[in-house]
Amino acid sequence: MPRSTLPLLRALLLVAAPLVTALPGARGDEPPGADLPGRPEEIVFAPLDFEVPDAKQFRRTLPDGTPVYVAPTHEFPLVTVSITFKGGASLDPADVPGLAGATASLVREGGTASASPAEFDEALDFLATRIGVQSNDAFTTASMNCLTANLDESLKLFVEMLREPALDEGRLRTSKARLMESLKQRNDDAASIMSREWRRLLWGPDHFESREPTGASVAAMSTERMRELHRRIYHPGNMIVAVSGDFEEKPMLEKLAAAFAGWKKGPAVPDPEAPTAELAPGIYHVPKDIPQGKVAIGMRSIRRDDPDAIPLDILNDILGGSGFTSRIMQQVRSNEGLAYSAGSAVVPKVWYPGQFRASFESKNATVALATKIILDLVEGVRDEPVSYEELETAKAAAIETFPRQFESKPAMLRVFVSDEWTDRPADYWKTYRDKVSAVTREDLQRVAKKHLDPEKMAILVVGDWDAIAAGDLEGRAKMTQFFGGKVTHLPVRDPVTLEPLPEGAGAPKPADKPAAPAGQGAPKKPVPAGK
> 77-96: which residues touch other proteins (CB under 8 A)?
77-78
7 is a contact residue toward other proteins (CB under 8 A): no
Site for other proteins in 44-83 (CB under 8 A): 45-48, 50, 73, 75-78
Figure out which of the listed residues 121, 160, 164, 212 binds other proteins, where binding follows CB under 8 A: 121
DSSP-derived 3-state class of residue 299: strand
Q: Which of residues 162-181 bind other proteins (CB under 8 A)?
A: 174, 177-178, 180-181
275 beta partners: none
- Tell me if 348 sits within 8 A of 356, measured CB to CB: no
Whole-number minimum distance, CB 444 to other proteins, in Å? 17
Told to check if 371 binds other proteins by CB under 8 A, we report no
Sign, CA dihedral 181-82-418-358, equals positive
Does 513 participate in binding other proteins (rule CB under 8 A)?
A: yes
The region of 290-298, 304-312, 373-381, 439-447 touching other proteins under the rule CB under 8 A is: 290-298
Report how far apart the first and last C-alpha atoms of the chain are (Å, whole number). 57
Contact flag: residue 219 with other proteins (CB under 8 A): no
The bridge status of strand 355-363 relative to strand 292-300 is: antiparallel
CB distance 143 to 169 below 8 Å: no
Binder to other proteins among 6, 113, 216, 268 (CB under 8 A)? 6
Q: How far is the CB of 77 from other proteins (least distance, A)?
A: 7
Please, what is the minimum distance in Å from the beta carbon of residue 32 to other proteins?
A: 4
Q: In the set 54, 95, 152, 188, which binds other proteins (CB under 8 A)?
A: 188
Residue from the set 404, 450, 476, 489 that interacts with other proteins by CB under 8 A: 404
Name the residue nearer to other proteins (CB basis): 16 or 258: 16
H or E stretch covering 287: strand 282-287
> Could you tell me the smallest distance in angstroms from the CB atom of residue 258 to other proteins?
25
CA distance 105 to 224: 15
Figure out which of the listed residues 289, 383, 384, 466 binds other proteins, where binding follows CB under 8 A. 289
Pick the closer one to other proteins by CB: 1 or 94: 1
Dist. CA 329–CA 465, nearest whole Å = 24
CA 31 to chain centre: 46
**Residue number, 63 or 510, with CB nearest to other proteins:** 510
Q: Rounded CA gap, 287 and 492, in Å? A: 7
Q: Of 335, 87, 293, 108, nearest to 190 (Cα)?
A: 293
Q: By the 8 A CB rule, do 337 and 329 touch? A: no
Shortest gap between Cβ of 345 and other proteins (angstroms)? 6
21-40: which residues touch other proteins (CB under 8 A)? 22-26, 31-33, 36-40
Per CB under 8 A, the list member of 61, 114, 136, 182 interacting with other proteins is 182
> How many chain residues bind other proteins (CB under 8 A)?
120
HEC string for 27-82: CCCCCCCCCCCCCHHHCCCCCCCCCCCCHHHHEEECCCCCEEEEEECCCCCEEEEE
Q: Which residue number, 232 or 493, has a Cβ lying nearer to other proteins?
A: 493
- Give the footprint of other proteins on residues 339-358 (CB under 8 A): 339-343, 345
Closest to other proteins by CB, 62 vs 381, is 381
Q: Is residue 418 near other proteins by the rule CB under 8 A?
A: no
* Closest approach of other proteins to the CB of residue 47, in Å: 7
Is residue 125 a contact residue for other proteins (CB under 8 A)?
yes
Q: Give Cα separations from 268 to 17, 129, 259, 287 (angstroms).
A: 72, 31, 21, 44
> Of 143-151, 235-243, 278-286, 442-450, which segment contacts other proteins by CB under 8 A?
143-151
Query: What are the CA-CA distances from residue 199 to residues 66, 318, 445 (Å)?
Result: 35, 25, 28
The dihedral region occupied by 337, where left means phi > 0, alpha psi between -120 and 50, and beta the remainder, is left
Per-residue string for binding with other proteins, 471-500, x by CB under 8 A? --x---------------------------
Q: Is 343 within 8 Å of 329 (Cβ atoms)? A: yes
- Shortest distance (Å) from residue 158 CB to other proteins: 15
Nearer to other proteins, 62 or 179 (CB): 179
φ/ψ of residue 99, rounded to 5: -65, -40
Give the binding range for other proteins (CB under 8 A) out of 42-50, 225-233, 378-386, 481-489: 42-50
Instruction: List the one residue out of 165, 152, 150 whose CA is nearest residue 109.
Output: 165
